[in-house]
Structure 1
Amino acid sequence: MTDIRLIATDMDGTLLNSKSELDASFFTLFSQLRAQGVLFAAASGRQYYNLAKYFDAIKDDMFFVAENGSYVMHREQELYVQSLELSIARQMVEIARNIPNTYTILCGKKKAYVESNVPKFWDQVTRHFEQYELVEDLTTIEDDQCLKISLCDFDGSANNSYSYFKPFENDLQVKVSGGKWLDISHKLANKGQALKVLQERYGITPEQTMAFGDYLNDLEMMQQAHHSYAMENAHPAIKKAARFQAKSNDEKGVFEVLEKVAAR
């Protein structure tokens, strides 16, 4: 750990506890790491504006890998954007409309767009997004870029909605990113590619990079960092891909490792 220069961590199931809370001790650790010149990135399927809210006091000193890597921001500047063509996004929306107990979010750069306010779905929208709008028809969105299509599948994304989009995996990123979440984005949009953008921009190698994750949308990020950590609560595929394992998110596994880095 003596030469770590970049740390990236997933949020849900990883840095945040099961109540989606960020432990206040993170900010002390962040200050110690920053004093050592370590760059820190929050890498999540969440919206940029939602991520920035968690780190409001230090957001100008952080990097944000949002929307599963399709959008990278630092100090309100775009470092990387890999959007999905609107024509393809509309095709995905049309397919999603036929999936039982599943609701669609078009994740734009400006805001997220939904066409349902069913209470159980609306609760998920307001929890994961800061900028959002209820519209009549997602296929009519034209004045925004689509960063990804997210499906909130209350029957379980792995066993329900994934089968509808599996045929598109050769051309698009189709990721089961949580128990009820399925994300569809550009083929080049993933957290690993976003991490590579940061590495090349700041002259950092994978051997100088540390990453933490728990679910399938973290797979490429695990592969782009030599110091890759799967959470104890991680998906088996992430545990297999990672070189190391951290305690669960509710046991502050990320914090335990960061303390070791800060104590170098």
Structure 2
Amino acid sequence: MLKNLVFMDIDDTLVNNHQEISTFTKNIINQNQTNTIFYVATGRMFISAKVIADEINANVVASNGGIFQKGSQLVSFHLGKQNLENIYHVLEEYSLSAFFFSSHQVFYNQSLPKYFKHSTNNRIASPNPNDYIKIDLPSLLQHSDEIINGIIIEDTNTDILDTAKEKLKDITDLNISSSFKNNIELIPEHVSKATAIKQIQKEYHVAPEHTFTFGDGENDIEMFNTSEYSVAMANANDLVKSHANFVTDSYLNDGVAKFLQKYLS
């Protein structure tokens, strides 16, 4: 009989700095497969998230809730043509780099950093080099019915992101958040990890009292409200911790597994 749902962010939560899930964590998850359905819940695109999920026989909530598995269904939402056009104008105004994701492709407006292209350590990794497509505005709009979410990244002048974020809030109907100080996450309005989790809870008839959520970023805060066992990682900032009911050890010290071992029954 199914008792629990567990949703785990990937980066800085489930995996270590080498993108590995520890043997201890795998064992704890494997021991509880009978009465628990496990999900990774991440900002990564679907194909990248599934690589990690398959290691632990987990399902996927990807693109911050923009695409997710629900029973035998794959549910997805899209940014939409008008939003994409408005986003592109902001990118040009502030000279920002952005990456837009379908379930398996990455569309980018400037250059694609080598560490993105060749690393399996991040959300835009794909095993197929042809999945990276440079776009201008017309070609971006041609893919509007495929694009689920996007991310703007600025590593040097992070202050400009605050200005760009406010502009985007004014001219789009998007759900806008940040998972780190160097980015802006772009997903469809009324879409989040939390909205996906609520649909999954309904599908499996599992209440918040039997739901676990683990995360370290501000894009995890909303999903904490879907579960009684909302758990921030020790490496999360104080704001994230303040929204969680529990704090566990860091992602480098098997924080997820230690908590599950103690509370999952």
Q: Which residue of structure 1 aligns with residue 76 of structure 2?
A: 81
Secondary structure (helix, strand or coil) at the match of 1:11 reads: coil
Quote the RMSD (CA, aligned, Å): 2.3
Task: Give the distance between the partners of 1:258 and 1:75, measured in 2 at CA.
Answer: 23
Question: Alpha-carbon deviations, 1:21-52, whole Å to 9, x = none?
Answer: 221333322221112x1011100001111111
Q: Which residue of structure 1 aligns with residue 12 of structure 2?
A: 13
Question: Alpha-carbon deviations, 1:89-125, whole Å to 9, x = none?
Answer: 121122123335x41101123411113335xx33135
8 Å CA contact retained: 2:53, 2:59: no
Counterpart code for 1:148: N
Q: Which residue of structure 2 aligns with residue 71 of structure 1?
A: 67
Q: Which residue of structure 2 aligns with residue 50 of structure 1?
A: 48
Q: Which residue of structure 2 aligns with residue 248 of structure 1?
A: 250
Counterpart code for 2:84: A
Equivalence map 1:1-264=2 (5 Å): 5-35=4-34, 37-58=35-56, 61-73=57-69, 77-78=73-74, 80-100=75-95, 102-118=96-112, 121-127=113-119, 128=122, 129=124, 130=126, 132-141=131-140, 142-143=142-143, 144-155=145-156, 157=158, 159-169=159-169, 171-261=173-263, 264=265
Task: Give the distance between the partners of 1:111 and 1:199, measured in 2 at CA.
Answer: 29
Compared CA separation, residues 136 and 199, structure 1 to 2 (3 A): closer
Structure 2 residues not aligned, in runs of 5+: none
Compared CA separation, residues 138 and 255, structure 1 to 2 (3 A): farther
Compared CA separation, residues 154 and 237, structure 1 to 2 (3 A): same
TM-score, scaled to structure 2: 0.86
Task: Give the distance between the partners of 1:76 and 1:50, measured in 2 at CA.
Answer: 20
CA-CA distance at 1:167 after TM superposition:
4.2
Task: Give the distance between the partners of 2:26 and 2:146, measured in 1 at CA.
Answer: 33
Task: Give the distance between the partners of 1:185 and 1:103, measured in 2 at CA.
Answer: 16
Task: Give the distance between the partners of 1:156 and 1:251, measured in 2 at CA.
Answer: 32
Structure 1 residues not aligned, in runs of 5+: none
8 Å CA contact retained: 2:6, 2:39: yes
Task: Give the distance between the partners of 1:168 and 1:98, measured in 2 at CA.
Answer: 12
CA-CA distance at 1:84 after TM superposition:
1.1
Sequence identity percentage = 21
CA-CA distance at 1:83 after TM superposition:
1.5
Task: Give the distance between the partners of 2:85 and 2:104, measured in 1 at CA.
Answer: 17
Counterpart code for 2:8: T
Compared CA separation, residues 57 and 219, structure 1 to 2 (3 A): closer
CA-CA distance at 1:74 after TM superposition:
5.7
TM-score, scaled to structure 1: 0.86
Task: Give the distance between the partners of 1:244 and 1:189, measured in 2 at CA.
Answer: 25
8 Å CA contact retained: 1:116, 1:122: no
Compared CA separation, residues 65 and 156, structure 1 to 2 (3 A): farther
CA-CA distance at 1:57 after TM superposition:
4.7
Compared CA separation, residues 93 and 235, structure 1 to 2 (3 A): farther
Counterpart code for 1:123: Y
8 Å CA contact retained: 1:95, 1:164: yes
CA-CA distance at 1:134 after TM superposition:
2.5
Counterpart code for 1:240: S
Counterpart code for 1:27: K
Compared CA separation, residues 39 and 140, structure 1 to 2 (3 A): same
